[in-house]
Amino acid sequence: MSLTLSSAHVHTTFCDGKTPAPDMARAAFEKGFVSLGFSSHAPQDFDPGYCIDPPREEEYKALIRSLQREYEGRMTVYLGIERDLYSCVSPEGYDYYLAAVHYFLQPDGHHAPIDGKPERLRQYVDAYCGGDGMEMARRYFALLRDYVVSWKTPIIAHFDLIRKNNAPLRLFDEESAVYQRLALDALRPMADTGALLEVNTGAIARGYLTTPYPAPFLLKAWKEWGGEVIVNSDCHDMRYLDIHFAESEALLRSLGYDHAVWLGKDTLWERYSL
Ligand SMILES: [Zn+2]
Ligand SMILES: [Zn+2]
pTM higher than the cut 0.85: yes
CA 8 – ligand 2 centroid, Å: 10
pLDDT at 1: 76
Rounded CA-CA distance 200/156 in Å is 10
CA 81 – ligand 2 centroid, Å: 9
CA 70 – ligand 1 centroid, Å: 27
pLDDT at 64: 98
Rounded CA-CA distance 82/99 in Å is 6
CA 163 – ligand 1 centroid, Å: 13
Rounded CA-CA distance 10/152 in Å is 22
Query: Does residue 259 contact residue 226 with C-beta atoms inside 8 Å?
Result: no
pLDDT at 205: 87
Q: Which residues of the chain have pLDDT under 70?
A: none
